[in-house]
Chain A
Amino acid sequence: MKSSHLQIGSHRFQSRLLLGTGKFSSFEVQQQAVKVSETQILTFAVRRMNIFDPNQPNFLEQLDLSQYSLLPNTAGASNAEEAVRIARLAQASGLCDMIKVEVIGDAKTLLPDPIETYRACEQLLKEGFTVLPYISDDVILAKRLQELGVHAIMPGASPIGAGLGLLNPHYLSFIIEQATVPVIIDAGIGTPGDAAKAMELGADGVLLNTAVAGAKDPVMMAEAMKLAVQAGRLGYDAGRIPMKRYASASSPIEGLPV
């Protein structure tokens, strides 16, 4: 899918880096990181308000919402019904129609429950949401979800927050090859190299959070990730050389000996 922009449903983006907003040490650092990343899509979670402290600062309320599209997630849901409820709450804000369907099936690995994820997507599509499911590197589930009509597929590179990079680039490349909708590699990215590699595979975007929020210098890492995503995409579009087992000289043979 060679294209200069990222199209998700009716939304069009220039940036292919999606940034999570969790775990930043301060709003100031976060605002700087978001700015230098040049992201256009920010993820959020939906949670109960602390009714005893109504004046607590909130990152979203400090954002210029004309500059960003919100991608709320359904994190916290362990079945389709809970995910649908969270999605409806998010949409009722009137701020977004995109939803990252995240239905966790296991507390230790935080791997997504494929069956509940599928069921949630089915319902949310009926209700008119722009649906972006977070899945593991399951090639067949990706196929079934795009047949169902989701607007993007978001397979994980490795477990959420693990920073292990692309554990199964082979299966991710199968998902990308068969894709009829954008593929966004979500979760498990640790370094700019991981992000670039994901883009070199042909992914349409990368969603990351901890890799930036948890870096020693989150602002610098946000810039590194921006450049990595751009470099990886350029490299993919440019078309890599085939791998060979042996050397092939870069300097001509003609004119030898000197």
Chain B
Amino acid sequence: MEVKVNGHSMELSLQEAHIQHLMEHLQMTHRIVIVEHNGTIVPKHKYDATPIMNGDRIEIVHFVGGG
């Protein structure tokens, strides 16, 4: 299936069907990030329980320097 992550199209195999899998795939499980799935924020403890469907939009944001 194909999903959009931070505006980029990404091909995911079937076993990568939860947010948790996506975060592992992107090597981001140890980072301070916030995930939004189709416009809804996904708390870390729900990564496992949030399935990803074809065409979903996922945003991964973090804190950067700013005033």
Using CB atoms and an 8 Å cutoff, list the residues of chain A in contact with chain B.
20-24, 30, 43-49, 51, 54-55, 58-61, 70, 72-73, 75, 88-90, 92-95, 160-161, 187, 207-210
Contacts and interface: CB of A to CB of B under 8 A. Distances in A.
Contact of B60 (A43, A51, A94): A51
B1 interface: no
A22 B65 CA distance: 4
B32 A209 contact: no
A59 B59 CA distance: 21
A59 B62 CA distance: 11
Contacts of A73: 66-67
A58 B32 contact: yes
B26 interface: yes
Nearest to A187: B67
Interface of B: 5-8, 26-28, 31-34, 36, 41, 43-44, 59-67
Contact of B28 (A20, A54, A95): A54
9 contacts: A22-B66, A23-B65, A45-B65, A51-B26, A51-B60, A75-B66, A88-B41, A92-B41, A207-B67
B60 A49 contact: yes
Contact of B6 (A24, A46, A49): A49
A49 B33 contact: yes
List 6 A-B pairs, minimum CB-CB distance, nearest first: A45-B66, A20-B67, A209-B67, A21-B65, A44-B63, A22-B65
Nearest to B32: A61
Given A22-B65, A209-B67, A48 B32 contact: no
Contacts of A75: 66-67
A187 B63 CA distance: 20
Given A44-B63, A73-B66, 13 more contacts: A20-B66, A48-B61, A49-B33, A49-B61, A51-B8, A51-B60, A54-B31, A58-B62, A75-B66, A92-B34, A92-B43, A93-B32, A93-B34
Contact of B36 (A58, A89, A187): A89
Contacts of B6: 48-49, 51
Residue among A20, A48, A95, A160 having the largest count of chain B Cβ atoms under 10 Å: A48
Contacts of B28: 49, 51, 54
Nearest to B5: A51
Contact of A58 (B8, B44, B63): B63
Contact of A47 (B5, B27, B41, B62): B62
A131 B66 CA distance: 17
A20 B44 CA distance: 27
Given A48-B59, A61-B31, A89 B41 contact: yes
A210 B65 CA distance: 11
A177 B64 CA distance: 35
A27 B47 CA distance: 31
A16 B31 CA distance: 30
A45 B34 CA distance: 13
